[in-house]
Amino acid sequence: MSETQSTAPAASEPGKRVPEGRRVIFLLDAASALEERMLRRWVEARCGESAPAEVVRLDASRRVRPGDGEVLETALATDDDPLLLPLRVAWLAPQRDGRRAARLSHLLLLGDPRDPGSLRARWIARLKPDRCRIVEAEAAPASELRQRWRAALGQDVAETVGLAQFVARQAALALERGERKLRGARYKVPRLLREDILERSAFQGGIARLARELGREPRALAREASRALREIAASHSPLMIDVFAQILGSSMRGYESLRVDQAQVEEIRLLAQRHPLVFLPTHKSNLDHGVLRRVLHENGLPPNHTAGGDNMKFFPMGSIARRAGIFFIRRSFKEDAVYKFVLRSYIDFLIEKRFPLEWYVEGGRSRSGKLLPPRYGLLAYVVDAYRRGKSEDVMLIPVSIAYDQISEVGEYAAEQRGVPKEREGLGWLIRFQRRLGRQYGNIDLRFGEPLSLRKTIGEPPQSGQVDATEPDLTVQKIAFEVCARINRVTPITPISLAMLALLRTDSAMSVSELRNALVPLVEYVERRGLPTTEKLVFDTPKDLERLLDPLVANGVLARFDGGRDVVYSIDGNQPIAAAYYRNTIIHFLINGAIAELALLSAAESEDCRGAFWAEVNRLRDVLKFEFFFAEKDVYLGEIRRELALHALDWESQLDRPSEVRALLQQIRPFLAHRVLRPFLEAYWVVADHLASLSHAQAADETELLRACLAWGQQYVLQRRIQSREAVSRSLLQTGLRLAGHRGLLDAASPTLAEERRQFADELRETLGRVDAIDALGAARRAGALA
């Protein structure tokens, strides 16, 4: 059954009359006696006097109101081939500012305007007839539905589902699609999800297989699977979709605007008409889901089925979020075979039915500001669904969400210093909402280039059999490509660039000093054509004060204007917060920083060219757990293009140390000390601590991290390291990961003490080159002032 709908009010004249000589059975989906009367009047007017109206009442879709199942079975058992035409009354929300949407006040006071109670329905029908419409699905012959039922038996429909039950379900689905045309695509949600999944032969066969493998009774396992699906699946409600959108909108009151490229939105709309979409946004704030949801909702696109951690199920947001499209999954379920099977079946259903999916490719929120390494779990389920033929293609949509400021940055800084993370709950939510009353600037959302699974990994196997040896590596490559595409479209904000300049020194900077530091950075950004949220303008002191004063208001910077000049400095406990904003853009700068250190290494060697490329590759290996590097050949090409920005013939200057040093002086601005110092200093703290252990077995990671935090704090006080932001959990954890990768956490090696010392020496030597780049920059600035 396909669908059409009457756009006239229920009380108005119906459309085409029933064709003469053909038996038509009207299937009424009526949630109340009033709706049934309205539908019967409409049918009588439609049929006219030429033919008696034949109606069958279905089980109501919105309320518990049983239908005439036996009558439908009798009607389908006749020898003729009647047309079946489903009908429903659709109640619309009041119109406000050109849109019909429910509001939070409806939830609290009046109830769902799309499902009014008896008295309210009568009032609407009499006084607001434009808010009640008849939805009419196109008539389908009983013979056609009988054929579809037979074809579906044992595949998408259980053997126990009779023809009448199948017809009723098809009618409900057709009416849902018809009603969606009245409400809009933003309310596209699954209907009969549980029945569709639980009754599939593939699902039931999987349960039988699991029962044999686990040695359990199939019926008990089926009940457990049903409970798991109830625990996982979102249960959309148009009312909650609207209410959630209103709540999310109020949560963004601290932001001046949410900026998005409408041309990109239209590209997404076209893709959604042909393929299932999987949105993979960055995760910097608890507002991220609301930002993407608002863009989709305001542009009439359906809500994503968004994966959320079960830590966010607390009252009352858990219930609202689930009914707005969030499905909650456990943090860990590796040992639960039934739960994994149900989750896979749920993902299969969403991909097959082209419902959009969303989750954070990083897993949790980034506490450092830069993109975290990707998580593979849900992506593996989607790739598996595609490879088993659930869709002809799946489009992965990278999404970058950039904020001028975020409200959580203070929490992140505290957690990076070792303070335990606050547990989510109602009190946490109230405090979070209260902070959002401050001013945080703008939000920019950018869609990266969509990634087609069909183009990336080829067509699914014809047999549906998947090679179990391939998917892990395939999923990793896809995830890294998504992250690379996110980084390419992540825009540079004026604040991120200002923090890059301010974090160069521990001392305060005057407005004029800061402007002088920003000018070469802006020229570099423009020369490379990097994406920005707006034109970078720092022409006057007022430009910079307007940029920096909101950071003062939110406690990230300190301002002193009692002397000759207005000066800004990073507040005492906030270097990690300031670094958070800087780190959102350093993926654009990492290759330039590496090239500078490699040139210094080349200038110290007789084989300048060989030393340069060796250092380029060594630094890639040191930093590979921190940044997303391209494949080696592509990466080397990026280094070449980076240096060509400063000197087109740079490779001809790699033969002698003097030429290399002259080439280094052509680079503007220097980046290594601004970009790499905190990461390398954090790694050196880890390496120095491990070296102090000699050949002893390292403690577990928690104890090691605690010790490294303490050592780092000591080294900052002693000025043995310069970057206060280096003493952070995430950077030290990556240092431990690098040490573990090199086998420096295991006492099995007889040369462990020497290997740990060499690791510390290697990082100390690299930091010496960072100091040298810093000194070259200082000399250049002194020369400019002279």
Q: How far apart are the first and last CA of the chain?
A: 82
Of 516, 555, 509, the C-alpha closest to 538 is: 516
Sign of CA dihedral 712, 715, 717, 723: negative
Sign of CA dihedral 261, 265, 266, 270: positive
Collapsing DSSP to helix, strand or coil, 306 comes out as strand
Q: What is the dihedral of CA 780, 583, 401, 532, to 10 degrees?
A: 10
pLDDT band, residue 464 (cuts 50/70/90): low
Please say if the pLDDT value at position 159 is more than 80. no
Res 647: pLDDT:
94
Q: Which of 163-167, 275-279, 497-501, 531-535 has the lowest mean pLDDT?
A: 163-167
Sign of CA dihedral 542, 543, 546, 547: negative
Q: Which of 69-78, 101-110, 397-406, 517-526 has the lowest mean pLDDT?
A: 101-110
Please say if the pLDDT value at position 755 is more than 90. yes
Of 514, 278, 301, 474, the C-alpha closest to 395 is: 278
Res 594: pLDDT:
98
For residue 73, with 0-12 CB atoms within 10 Å meaning exposed, 13-18 middle and 19 or more buried, which class applies?
A: middle
pLDDT band, residue 13 (cuts 50/70/90): very low
Q: What digits encode the pLDDT tens for the residues 279-333? A: 999 999 999 999 999 999 999 999 999 999 877 787 777 888 888 889 999 888 8
Q: What digits encode the pLDDT tens for the residues 556-569? A: 999 999 999 999 99
Please say if the pLDDT value at position 649 is more than 90. yes
Res 21: pLDDT:
67
Number of Cβ within 10 Å of residue 728's Cβ equals: 27
What is the pLDDT averaged over residues 192-212? 90
The dihedral region occupied by 718, where left means phi > 0, alpha psi between -120 and 50, and beta the remainder, is alpha
Q: What digits encode the pLDDT tens for the residues 172-186? A: 999 998 888 888 888
Residue 354, CB-side half-sphere exposure with 13 Å CA sphere? 12
For residue 751, with 0-12 CB atoms within 10 Å meaning exposed, 13-18 middle and 19 or more buried, which class applies?
A: exposed
| Beta-ladder partners of 136 | 4, 87
Distance CA 511, CA 499 (A): 13
What is the pLDDT averaged over residues 10-38? 75
What is the pLDDT averaged over residues 733-756? 91
Number of Cβ within 10 Å of residue 109's Cβ equals: 8
Distance CA 724, CA 714 (A): 11
Res 10: pLDDT:
46
What is the pLDDT averaged over residues 466-474? 62
pLDDT band, residue 129 (cuts 50/70/90): very high
| Beta-ladder partners of 400 | 446
Tell me what percent of the residues of the chain surpass a pLDDT of 90.
70
Distance CA 301, CA 252 (A): 20
The 3-class SS string of 492-537 reads ECHHHHHHHHHCCCCCCEEHHHHHHHHHHHHHHHHHHCCCECCCCC
Distance CA 89, CA 16 (A): 18
Number of H helices, E strands in the chain: 32, 19
User: Structure pTM?
Assistant: 0.91
Of 301, 280, 263, 70, the C-alpha closest to 180 is: 301
Q: Return the higher-pLDDT residue of 112 and 733.
A: 733
Report CA Rg, the chain.
Answer: 32
Res 98: pLDDT:
79
Q: Return the higher-pLDDT residue of 627 and 243.
A: 627
Structure tokens at 778: 């200082």
Please say if the pLDDT value at position 225 is more than 80. yes
Res 412: pLDDT:
95
Average pLDDT for the chain: 90
Helices (H), 55-106: 69-76, 104-105
Q: Which of 355-364, 387-396, 695-704, 735-744 has the lowest mean pLDDT?
A: 695-704
Res 50: pLDDT:
60
Q: What is the dihedral of CA 695, 697, 700, 706, to 10 degrees?
A: -40
Res 551: pLDDT:
96
Collapsing DSSP to helix, strand or coil, 635 comes out as helix
Distance CA 411, CA 404 (A): 17
Tell me what percent of the residues of the chain surpass a pLDDT of 70.
94
Of 606, 593, 605, 778, the C-alpha closest to 667 is: 593
- Report the alpha-carbon angle 700-706-711, nearest 5: 120
Structure tokens at 526: 């423009």
DSSP string, 420-432: PPPPPSHHHHHHH
Please say if the pLDDT value at position 65 is more than 60. yes
Res 471: pLDDT:
55
Please say if the pLDDT value at position 122 is more than 60. yes
What is the pLDDT averaged over residues 150-173? 82
Contacts of 505 (CB under 8 A, 6+ apart): none
Distance CA 767, CA 577 (A): 23
Distance CA 507, CA 515 (A): 15
Distance CA 39, CA 137 (A): 13
What is the pLDDT averaged over residues 1-10? 46
pLDDT band, residue 221 (cuts 50/70/90): very high
Distance CA 1, CA 3 (A): 6
The CA–CA distances, whole Å, from 145 to 29, 139, 315, 484, 749 equal 18, 11, 44, 48, 71
| Beta-ladder partners of 509 | 568
Distance CA 526, CA 514 (A): 18
